[in-house]
Chain A
Amino acid sequence: MESGIFFSDYRSDMALRRMPLQKVRTGLLLVGLVVFPFLATPYWLNLANQIAIATIGAIGLNILVGYTGQISLGQGAFMAIGAYGAGLLTVRFGVPFYISIPVAALITAVAGLVVGLPSLRLKGLYLAVATLAAQQIVEFVVTHWTGLTGGTEALVVPAPEMFGARLNTDGRFYWILIVVALAVALFAANLFRSRVGRAWVAIRDQDIAASAIGVNVFGYKLLAFATSSFLVGLSGALLAHYRSIVTWERFTIEVSISYLAMIIIGGLGTISGSFFGATLIVLLPAMINTVGRSLQDTAPWAATVLPYVQQGVFGLVIILFLVLEPEGLARLWRNVKDYFRVWPFSY
């Protein structure tokens, strides 16, 4: 707690942003997000949009894995259901994109509920294997049910339109993504300061005690699967409309694993960690690419080893985090804040 500040009523003691400094920081963040698209090049806007979509997906995964303690390898599958759901609704039925997105998210939530059923009996790695099965089944269906999804052919989604305006540029889509990502972050933060989020964390920490205190453990696990999948489906659906193209390669088991890496590097069970992890995992390959390209003229061989370097660095970063800061970027950020809270008086 920040020293020297006391609260006279429960409402302010229970607020999300209790400290003046926190309010200032949040204000600065919002201003930055509004100013950003006016200063950024399309390249950076594209990265920002990718980060926003990944953040939504990472928050979804974190609810299930970080907060509720149910390991899932099905992230790619849930994103696929959201993306194909939204894409097909628009392509086949002409549903406007702003309706197709929530509907696709709801469909994904139902799928999540079904995938969560084994959690009645299975825990830990056994549950992870069950979600892995779901991942494989969805991949199989998407690539083989050609009549519905187009199989391995890409599904082309028309550029989204709202109020007669085409939202086909990075700059325009940015606003949608930022608003949705902020809403999702706020929603999740609220969950974890109230009844439902507490029940989830209780299940993660001590499921027997949770049941003995009156938490319907299986019911809340299913709710976590559904809520998590809703958000993951939402990010998939947004991705479909943002990219205007849906291909199954974007939703393989590798995606599931890189999202797990995001929340581990960012910090399990933290909202800010979902954002930090998403940022790092999006930016890291982009940065390595940039370095590689700038080396192309002076050292042409660099381009050929680039993919390997990318994967190597990726793995190295994850291992370094696991070893040096198991609580992730969110923890580092907390340390920085702690440092500046008492700055310049360090004691």
Chain B
Amino acid sequence: MAEPAASSPAPSTCLEVDGLTLSFGGVHALDDVALDVRHGEVFAIIGPNGAGKTSLLNSISGLYRPQKGSITYSASPGEEPASLLGRAPHKVAQLGVARSFQNIELFRAMSVLENLMLGRHIHMRGNVLTCGVYWGSQRREEIRHRAAVEDVIDFLEIENLRHQAVGTLAYGLQKRVELARALALDPKLLLLDEPMAGMNVEEKEDMARFILDVNEERGVTTVLIEHDMGVVMDLSDRVAVLDFGRSIACGTPDHVRADPAVIHAYLGDAG
């Protein structure tokens, strides 16, 4: 591996996963997985079907409880790293970690606007009394966060979808709305599970542009899972490769592509 194996997180490490092990009954979804994501980079996770990519993301966002290992996260350079392991999903989100899902998990009955307003949930204070009365400060809070949501709507060019129920939108647009909902949270770390799966070429290009814009303009550290090698090579600063729950390589796209273990994993014995 080209990266020096740091024993404690370097100051610029955003996310560090070490020795992560997760099994379901007899299935080892993750087996001693290690990787580190630096602040401000686009980091890709690749690997064959069933390699454990989604399981890794779910472990980071608190949906799965790995049996062993550590996950530490620091929102910005210089910030003391906090452990994410065993933290409830909503508490992980409160630290500025937002995500999208492999099989779009939007609130289907709600409008695009309401979905994005939920992205603002952790930044709002309204309780059952202030919301029920909806007067003064609560109204102002709703309007203030509506404005923040409109920024995201402009950014992702979905102005004309605002009031539509997300369940009625085309697949590609739903993927975009899911990204928008994650962005509305103002994340420091964005986890995207196959954001371009099932899209046509044009939609993929749009999505790739949005991901790069988010990274560059908003400085959001991004971890994405992707199968399309072309996309991975174009977008990412560094790549980690999972195979049968183990991390077999980590480095720049060129470095990873040349790695014999990766070639073997992708091409089998023929490689």
Q: Please report A residues at the B interface, Cβ cutoff 8 Å.
A: 1, 10-11, 14, 187-188, 190-191, 193-199, 201-202, 204-206, 208-217, 223, 227, 269
Contact = CB atoms under 8 A, between A and B. Distances in A.
A212 B126 contact: no
A187 B99 contact: no
Given A214-B122, A217-B90, A209 B138 contact: no
A208 B54 CA distance: 14
A160 B63 CA distance: 53
B107 A201 contact: yes
B133 A14 contact: no
B200 to A, nearest CB: 25
B107 A205 contact: yes
Given A208-B105, A214-B94, A201 B128 contact: no
Interface residues of B, number: 44
Given A194-B142, A206-B105, A227-B128, A216 B90 contact: yes
B255 interface: no
Contacts of B181: 213
26 contacts: A1-B163, A11-B139, A14-B142, A14-B143, A194-B134, A195-B117, A196-B126, A196-B128, A198-B114, A198-B121, A199-B118, A201-B107, A206-B108, A208-B89, A211-B62, A211-B88, A211-B89, A212-B90, A212-B93, A212-B99, A212-B101, A212-B105, A213-B98, A213-B181, A214-B90, A217-B90
Contacts of B114: 198, 201
A100 to B, nearest CB: 21
A196 B107 contact: no
A214 B91 CA distance: 7
Contact of A213 (B119, B133, B143): B119
Contacts of B150: 10
Contact of A190 (B88, B133, B143): B133
Contacts of B118: 198-199, 202, 210, 213, 215
Interface in B142-176: 142-143, 146-147, 150, 163
A190 B117 CA distance: 15
B7 interface: no
B185 interface: yes
B90 A191 contact: no
Contacts of B8: none
B98 A196 contact: no
B127 A212 contact: no
A14 B109 contact: no
Centre residue among B62, B63, B99, B132 by max chain A CB count within 10 A? B132
Contact of A209 (B101, B109, B142): B101
Contacts of A10: 143, 146-147, 150
Contacts of B127: 196
Nearest to B144: A10
B107 A191 contact: no
A11 B136 CA distance: 12
A268 to B, nearest CB: 10
Nearest to B139: A11
